[in-house]
């Protein structure tokens, strides 16, 4: 697809969103769909979560054609909730769009004027915001001022949704307290904490399931924050580990099936041996792939050096 100008993209989005709003209004009307009419914010909750995760899966697969479709599904959920709210006079989709647009302008004073116009270059330089870390710190300070002005109690963690997946919530808690300086100095310090929590979990195994559960939670919290210190997102890391395990166990099952057997009648030792064989094969293929990639990079660099100026 050719790259479109922002003016063209804005026009297309305006037309498309207006069409989607009209479709949603029809679906909820008396002449529409019984299922759509029955839905509430609460009944749609799992669908919103499911569609978001399906979009994330497309990102992980680098399936950008599929991502376009999945983002449409996420957008539809937003339109659906806004339609339900509009029917009861609470808000409509335009209110949601205006709220996020206004927030982005307020939280980026190094990019926009108060009216939303881009800052001139000299003003941007004077703002002194040149790194992602500085942007995040500024965002949290502005957010705290807004909460204070609204009469809300200033709490660093009050805005972390309890409904987030637990690993992601641990990551976000660590990120927010880290923004105010309550953090491990480096990833190695978190590794020390993980080793400490592992020892405590080992000791708790002989006590009670409740005690072991508490220590396991502490260990998982530390692991989530190690991911943060490494610049990784723990949900993504665990999702990839799940996918890798699934691929390998599928290969284990295929190995036994090709020999007229099933994993159900294989011994643990047999499955372990096949697992290790598949793991070794995967590692070798990865090493060959990396070597070829390095070789291609070396050849490209050599050609550039050999080219006349």
Q: Are 224 and 176 in contact (CB under 8 A)?
A: no
- CATH architecture under which domain 6-107 falls: Orthogonal Bundle (1.10)
Per-residue pLDDT, 291: 74
Among 159, 139, 168, CA closest to 228: 168
For the chain, what are the domain ranges?
6-107, 166-232, 236-304
pLDDT, tens only, 165-181: 899 999 999 999 998 89
Site of tokens 């992980």: 60
Q: What pLDDT does 308 receive?
A: 55
Report the pLDDT value the prediction gives residue 158, as an integer from 0 to 100: 82
The pLDDT score that the predictor gives to residue 299 is: 64
pLDDT number for residue 100: 97
Cα-based torsion angle of the residue sequence 211, 212, 218, 219 in order, rounded to the nearest 10 degrees: 160
Tokens encoding 260: 């007229």
Separation between Cα atoms, residue 128 and residue 72, nearest integer Å:
37
Tell me if 6-107 shares its fold with 166-232.
Answer: yes
d(CA 140, CA 136): 6
Looking at residue 212, the DSSP 8-state letter turns out to be H
Q: What pLDDT sits at residue 297?
A: 64
Tell me the two tokens of residue 245.
Answer: 């395990």
Q: What is the pLDDT along the chain (309 residues), one digit of tens a residue?
A: 678 999 999 999 999 999 999 999 999 999 999 999 999 999 999 999 999 999 998 998 899 999 999 999 999 999 999 999 999 999 999 999 999 999 999 999 999 999 999 999 888 888 888 899 899 889 888 988 888 888 877 778 888 888 888 999 999 999 999 988 999 999 999 999 999 999 999 999 999 999 999 999 999 999 999 999 999 999 889 988 999 999 999 999 999 999 999 999 999 999 999 999 999 998 888 887 777 776 666 666 666 655 555
CA-CA distance, 72 to 24, in Å (whole number)?
13
Domain 166-232: CATH superfamily is MazG-like (1.10.287.1080)
Please tell me the pTM assigned to this model.
Answer: 0.67
Helix, strand or coil, per DSSP, at residue 32? coil
Which tokens hold the place of 109?
């004073």
C-alpha distances out from residue 147 to 95, 156, 168, Å: 20, 11, 23
Exposure string of 291-305, with b = 16+ CB inside 10 Å and e = fewer, is eeeeeeeeeeeeeee
Distance between CA 276 and CA 87 in Å, rounded? Answer: 59
CA atoms of 84 and 91, how far apart (whole Å): 9
Question: Helix, strand, coil proportions of the chain in percent (round to 5)?
Answer: 75, 0, 25
* Cβ atoms of residues 168 and 234 within 8 Å: yes
What is the pLDDT at residue 303? Answer: 62
Cβ neighbours of residue 4 under 8 Å, at least 6 residues apart?
A: 12
């Amino acid at each position: 697809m050719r790259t479109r100008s922002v003016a063209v993209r804005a026009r297309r989005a305006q037309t498309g969103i207006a069409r989607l709003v009209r479709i949603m209004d029809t679906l909820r009307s008396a002449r529409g769909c019984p299922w759509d009419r029955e839905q509430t914010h609460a009944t749609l909750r799992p669908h919103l979560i499911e569609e978001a995760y399906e979009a994330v899966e497309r990102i992980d697969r680098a399936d950008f054609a599929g991502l376009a479709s999945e983002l449409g599904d996420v957008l539809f959920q937003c339109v659906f909730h806004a339609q339900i709210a509009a029917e009861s006079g609470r808000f409509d989709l335009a209110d949601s769009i205006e709220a996020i647009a206004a927030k982005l302008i307020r939280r980026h004073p190094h990019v926009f004027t108060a009216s939303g116009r881009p800052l001139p270059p000299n003003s941007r330089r004077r703002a002194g915001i040149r790194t992602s870390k500085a942007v995040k710190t500024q965002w949290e300070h502005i957010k705290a001022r807004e909460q204070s002005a609204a009469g809300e109690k200033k709490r660093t963690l009050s805005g972390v949704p309890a409904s987030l997946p637990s690993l992601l919530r641990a990551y976000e808690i660590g990120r927010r307290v880290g923004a105010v300086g309550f953090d491990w100095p480096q990833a190695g310090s978190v590794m020390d904490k993980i080793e400490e929590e592992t020892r405590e979990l080992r000791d708790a195994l002989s006590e009670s399931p409740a005690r072991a559960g508490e220590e396991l939670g502490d260990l998982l919290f530390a692991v989530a924050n190690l991911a943060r210190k490494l610049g990784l997102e723990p949900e993504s890391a665990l999702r990839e580990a799940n996918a890798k395990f699934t691929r390998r166990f599928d290969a284990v099952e295929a190995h036994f099936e090709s020999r007229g057997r099933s994993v159900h009648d294989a011994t643990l030792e047999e499955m372990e041996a096949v697992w290790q064989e598949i793991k070794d094969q995967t590692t070798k293929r990865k090493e060959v792939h990396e070597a070829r990639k390095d070789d291609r990079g070396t050849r490209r660099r050599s050609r550039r050096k050999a080219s006349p100026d």
